[in-house]
Amino acid sequence: MIESWLQSTGLALPTLLRDSGHRYVLVTRDPDLYRLPDGAPHPVLALAAEVVVAETNDDDALLAAVDQVATRHPVDGVLTTCDYYLPAVARVAEGLGLPGASAAALRTATRKHLVRRALAAAGVPDVPFAVAADEAQARKEAAGLGYPLVVKPVDMNSGTGVRRVTDEAGLALAVAEITGPERNTRDQPLERLVLLERVLDGPEYSVETVTRDGVTRVLGITAKSVAEPGVEAGTGFVESGHLFPAPLPPEQRDAIERHVVAALAAVGLTHGISHTEVRLTAAGPRLIELNPRQGGGYIFELVRLVTGYNPLRVLVDLALGREPAPGPSVATSAAVRFLLPPADGVVREVRGAERLRDDDRVLGHETPSPGRAVRPGDNNERIGHVLVADPTGHAAKDWADELVAGLEVRVDPVA
């Protein structure tokens, strides 16, 4: 395992590996990163058979470290839950002769502007876009595309830096935010390029897929609730909830699936699990972002509950070169709603949380502890969740909405 996400999938995968009888070596540049809020070791650290410290941001150093691991352990697969290390995983898998996507395909798939160019080259219908390196170039490209626009960094995740802009003033703020930082949270150099896209209207969905030997299978479509962003408030496109499966008529479902399969083929992905976000516009499905990894935000758990396919188990099977197989499904619909900070400040209390523990509809929940500093922002700033499943019907979203509406997060402003 080359690094790991800290939340959601990063918390769940180590236990799944252990319970499945697998052993893994964690290769990381910084073991101290993997700590829980209370200071205890993160599961990815605590459950590792061995922890190897190496410069995972340098492919040559990483390959040398993995070669040493391979002299001590039989290595059967390479994986990660962290987007930033997907190309590195592909390079290591290629070096060891293990299953995986090509490093070139993952380099394209993890750079948003390269994905757009690949779709254009393959003739896949897409949103008008442009790329800029500074404010002057961004103003010129924006004038050609027309406002409103969505602007985003080409190489970040979790909605970081994604803004909706309506004029040159908002564009200047967004460009400064994107081009200012030189490194991401894993100390990797950023390209500091701005992707400008025409705003897409229509409901948002994500498509969970498995690709093996160049053949893509759709596990299902998730309906997503998204809070709209504002540059002035410093907030991005924050996903406030997910419902699986999405309630779609067959013709719309088929159109979305065909579009995503074509997009994956365009970037050259022949192996792996993918989470692809689209909007269903009046002109048909259009890509928001392509993510060559499992869906976060507990989508992997919703998919497992309804289809029996655990995307994290699928991730492991694909890394080992196995054909993924489903387990039992236990629900007809499943949903998660997130708690979002009402304002900048420090949590004083959460009212209504005690009811969640005794509600049979709730399969998992988290609320923030008093004293936690919170702020509206991107998906990383969500402060809790409620996950529910309806075993026989399609009430999961209504239940999740009801339960979250019964919570009150009181925040004291920062002096």
Q: In the numeric block, which tokens belong to residue 145?
A: 């595309």
**Residue 415 in this model has a pLDDT that exceeds 70:** no
The residue assigned the tokens 């969505």 is: 150
Mean pLDDT (the chain, rounded): 92
**Residue 103 in this model has a pLDDT that exceeds 80:** yes
Q: Is 310 left (phi over 0), alpha (psi -120 to 50) or beta?
A: beta
What pLDDT, on a 0 to 100 scale, did the predictor assign at position 10? 92
What pLDDT, on a 0 to 100 scale, did the predictor assign at position 379? 55
Geometric angle at alpha carbon 187, from 182 and 191, rounded to 5°: 40
Report the half-sphere exposure of 330 (CA within 13 A, side-chain side). 10
Q: Which residues contact 95 (CB under 8 A, 6 or more apart)?
A: 63, 66, 67
Q: What is the pLDDT of residues 49-92, one digit of tens each?
A: 999 999 999 999 999 999 999 999 999 999 999 999 999 999 99
Helix H or strand E encompassing 119:
helix 112-122
Mean pLDDT across the stretch 254-270?
Answer: 98
384-390: strand order across its sheet: 284-291, 272-281, 204-212, 215-227, 238-244, 333-339, 384-390, 362-366
What pLDDT, on a 0 to 100 scale, did the predictor assign at position 57? 98
What pLDDT, on a 0 to 100 scale, did the predictor assign at position 369? 83
Pick from 233, 229, 165: nearest CA to 195: 165
**Residue 239 in this model has a pLDDT that exceeds 90:** no
**Residue 380 in this model has a pLDDT that exceeds 70:** no
Q: In the numeric block, which tokens belong to residue 191?
A: 């390209």
**Residue 237 in this model has a pLDDT that exceeds 70:** no
> How far is Cα 139 from Cα 25, in angstroms, rounded to an integer?
47
> How far is Cα 225 from Cα 241, in angstroms, rounded to an integer?
5
> How far is Cα 289 from Cα 111, in angstroms, rounded to an integer?
10
pTM listed for this prediction: 0.89
**Residue 231 in this model has a pLDDT that exceeds 50:** no
Q: In the numeric block, which tokens belong to residue 11?
A: 């918390």
Q: How far is CA 393 from the centre of its chain?
A: 27
**Residue 210 in this model has a pLDDT that exceeds 90:** yes
What pLDDT, on a 0 to 100 scale, did the predictor assign at position 321? 96
In this predicted model, which residue has the larger pLDDT, 136 or 345? 136
Mean pLDDT across the stretch 126-153?
Answer: 97
> How far is Cα 339 from Cα 409, in angstroms, rounded to an integer?
9
How would residue 234 be classed by pLDDT, with cut points 50, 70 and 90? very low
Q: What is the pLDDT of residues 140-198, one digit of tens each?
A: 999 999 999 999 999 988 778 899 999 999 999 999 999 999 999 999 999 999 999 99
Question: Which domains are assigned to the chain?
Answer: 9-98 (3.40.50), 128-199 (3.30.1490.20), 333-412 (3.30.470.20)
**C-beta contacts of 180-189 below 8 A and 24+ residues apart:** 184/84, 184/155, 184/156, 186/3, 186/29, 186/57, 186/82, 186/84, 186/85, 187/29, 187/57, 188/57, 188/84
> How far is Cα 320 from Cα 118, in angstroms, rounded to an integer?
28
In this predicted model, which residue has the larger pLDDT, 56 or 39? 56
What pLDDT, on a 0 to 100 scale, did the predictor assign at position 30? 97
CB atoms within 10 A of CB 234: 15
> How far is Cα 206 from Cα 295, in angstroms, rounded to an integer?
8
What pLDDT, on a 0 to 100 scale, did the predictor assign at position 382? 77
Helices (H), 272-358: 299-307, 311-319, 354-357
**Residue 414 in this model has a pLDDT that exceeds 90:** no
**Residue 299 in this model has a pLDDT that exceeds 80:** yes
**Percentage of the chain exceeding pLDDT 90:** 79
How would residue 236 be classed by pLDDT, with cut points 50, 70 and 90? low
Q: Which residues contact 118 (CB under 8 A, 6 or more apart)?
A: 108, 266, 267, 268
Report the half-sphere exposure of 235 (CA within 13 A, side-chain side). 20
**Residue 291 in this model has a pLDDT that exceeds 90:** yes
> How far is Cα 40 from Cα 162, in angstroms, rounded to an integer?
32
What pLDDT, on a 0 to 100 scale, did the predictor assign at position 116? 98
Mean pLDDT across the stretch 341-348?
Answer: 82
Residue 244 forms beta bridges with which residues?
Answer: 334
